[in-house]
Structure 1
Amino acid sequence: MDDIAERKSEHIAIVTAGRGVQDTRGTGFDAIRFVHNALPELSLEEIDTGALFLGRRLAAPLMVSAMTGGPREAGRINLVIAEACGALGLALAVGSQRVAIEGRGAGGLGRELRAKAPNVPILGNLGAVQLGRGMGLDEARRAVDMLEADALMLHLNPLQEAIQSGGDRDFSGLLTRIEALARALPVPLGVKEVGAGLSASVGQKLLDAGAVILDVAGLGGTSWARVGAERGDDRLRRIAAPFFDWGIPTAEAVAAMAPLMRSGTKLIASGGVRHGLDVARAVRLGADLAGQAAGALPAAREGAEALTVHLSEVVEQLRIAMFCTGSRDLAALRRAPLA
């Protein structure tokens, strides 16, 4: 377990230093171009960026995505994220709660997060692969209760597990276990990838199994193959190298998944979201929210004030994109003409 904590601490350092980033052009977002509206016929100040998610009103369709889970530094980072998201009215999703569930350090994953962010959605997080290694409903309930979370996300990360030393590599039988957990859990269950994307076929299976939130977490953000290689020896780096840019581009994954979403389900676009224009592009493609992780991590490590400034700028960029497309609200943005 100490190895897990050390590994996650190294992950934070590698991602912050930019050594795990894929080519952000790989997201596909830059290919999405809006038709500029030189006569928007509305005031910038009257634009409503608000969104509804898990029964809570958000100031914008933005979430600080899962990025930490276990190391000592995570305690401070998680509190910083909660404080900034609580102040701005944005959603937050924590990193893996496995270490906390197994009693090896809370990592800031306790009810102090809810105290700092009492009115916004908080999403818990466990590895789906752990459902085949002894975790089940009891652990999922504990993950929800320790945060007073609005939902629980299960992360799927076969590429990361295949490459990293000591990875959990048996993903057999998980869909049946996900379905059983979705039926029994008292809060909504979601599923996310961690940087390689969810395909439409996998998304359809997860929706059929009862998942109500899907986070595509696609290609173009953090490459966990690169992160794993950074931590490994020469042999591991050689094995990992062909997979540095493996995955489904985020924009492509969102566009493919959006038509499959049903009433009451939510789609999150994460993976290489750089700024508010990418948020606007994600919404236009059909996402309900956009999630940012690595893009927010440097500011989160600096402190709540820096993160608040960063996220405020992302929201303002979204507002400008809406203004320049004549979109009074998100419903109008979803109909904005594309070039």
Structure 2
Amino acid sequence: MTTAKRKLDHIRICLDRGVEGGWQPFEDVALVHRALPEIDAAEIDSRCRFLGKELAFPFMITGMTGGHPETKEINVNLALAAQEVGVAMGVGSQRAALENSEVEETFSAVRDAAPTIPIIGNIGAVQLVREGPEVIDRLAEMIEADAVAVHLNFLQESVQPEGETEARGAMAAIRAASDGRVPIIAKETGAGICREDALALLEAGVEVIDVAGMGGTSWSGVEAYRAEERGDGESAVMGRLFWSWGVPTPVSVVECASAGAEVISSGGVRSGIDVAKSIALGARLGGAALPFLRPATEGSSEVVGALRAYERAFRTAMFLTASRDLSALESAPFIVVGRTREILEERGFDSKKLSIYREMSR
């Protein structure tokens, strides 16, 4: 099966099937409500800078698609909306464009539609090993990217019958690429990144990590559906078995931030409240993909509406935590309960002292 055809399968399944797990880890995190915030809502400043460019609030539409002619409109609608609202945007894996230059415009159209926001390219770690570090510049030039994400999707590759599970050499390839002129973002795809891997990535020269943790779209689940459709019972069982495998996003944010990384919190970020929780936990940005896919099939105005809902909820959460700006939100008190708290404590974090870990990472 071609890479382009696989991309269409992924979009169709994400639109038509339930691809998220039952547990939403962000429900275990609560910001402490301030009944007397002593600020006016109009005073709130949610702006930040990312990759040298200003964002209206700390958010990005994370890498989703591209590589097939039918995906161009989706990417353009996402880009137009991101430009209008003032958030960052990532594209899906550009592997298909490396294999077939005719589909490059499904990616390059993003920069045409969004000339001033941060745009992030995308390539898999396996492809980086094969192509060498020079491929990063090629991918960046294709879309005038401000950074390129190297995605680590070995769980998904393990479930795919056509998956590529050659992980040896990935760290060396990332280290070589991090010396280039374009910043590298290490990105998981739904299974999270632990502190041990964050420390290794930082040592290799990576500064930004998109945790893409467990709690949002399960690509193992997506592959289970694909396997069922082609009658591959063994792969379908494997995909369902690993459906909820990984590090929950809030845990991954804490682990990576405590290691000293600049963190993008994605994976189950389903509202502006989750973005605010992410910032309080130690992230620099929040991110999401799936909530914007269906709106992007309808038009850019629908994506704008979805983004505005995130922005309004985020600013409201700032107001109700007495956070006039992002530095105040970074210090806002929060509570962690349930399974997320248990995992954090088993990993060596005292949930009552998480603010200490936040300060140590700055």
2:263 aligned residue = 267
Note the C-alpha offset of 1:141.
1.1
Partner of 2:137: 141
- In structure 2, what residue type is equivalent to 1:199? C
Name the structure 2 match of 1:55.
Answer: 52
- Look up the equivalent residue of 2:214 and give its one-letter code: L
2:89 is aligned, of 83, 87, 92, to 92
Please list, as runs of the form range in 1=range in 2, the aligned pairs for 1:151-230 lying within 5 A after superposition.
Answer: 151-183=147-179, 185-230=180-225
After superposition, the C-alpha distances for 1:149-191 in whole angstroms (9 at most, x for unaligned) are 00011000111001112111111111111101111x2111111
Cα 1:334–1:141 shift into 2, 3 Å: same
Gaps (5+ residues) in structure 2? 336-362
What secondary structure does 1:191 align onto? strand
For residues 64 and 83 of structure 1, the distance between their equivalents in structure 2, rounded to whole angstroms, comes to 12
| CA deviation after TM superposition for structure 1 residue 118, in Å | 1.4
1:65 to 62, 67, 79: 62
> Are residue 255 (structure 1) and residue 251 (structure 2) matched?
no
Distance 1:103 1:138 in 2: 18
Q: In the aligned structure 2, how far is the partner of 1:102 from the partner of 1:235?
A: 29
Shift of 1:121: 0.5
| 8 Å CA contact retained: 1:97, 1:109 | no
User: Which residue in 2 is equivalent to 1:39?
Assistant: 36
Partner residue of 1:319 out of 298, 315, 323: 315
Compute the displacement of 1:106 (Å). Answer: 2.2
Letter in 1 for 2:282: G
Distance 1:24 1:118 in 2: 38
Query: What CA deviation, in whole Å up to 9, does each residue of 1:125-152 have, x standing for no partner?
Result: 00011123x3123322110001110001
**1:246 counterpart = 2:245:** yes
Aligned CA RMSD, in angstroms, stands at 1.4
TM score, norm. by length of structure 1 = 0.94
Q: Report deviation, 1:110.
A: 4.2
Letter in 2 for 1:196: A
Confirm or deny: 8 A CA contact 1:159 1:225 kept in the other structure.
yes
CA separation in 2, counterparts of 1:189 and 1:300?
A: 27
SS at match of 1:131: helix
Q: Which structure dedicates a bigger proportion of its chain to helix?
A: 2
CA contact 1:73–1:107 (8 Å) conserved in 2: no
1:310 counterpart = 2:306 = yes
Is the Cα–Cα contact under 8 Å of residues 188 and 211 in structure 2 kept in the other structure?
A: yes
CA distance in 1, matches of 2:162, 2:48: 40
CA separation of 1:317 and 1:18: change in aligned 2, threshold 3 A:
farther
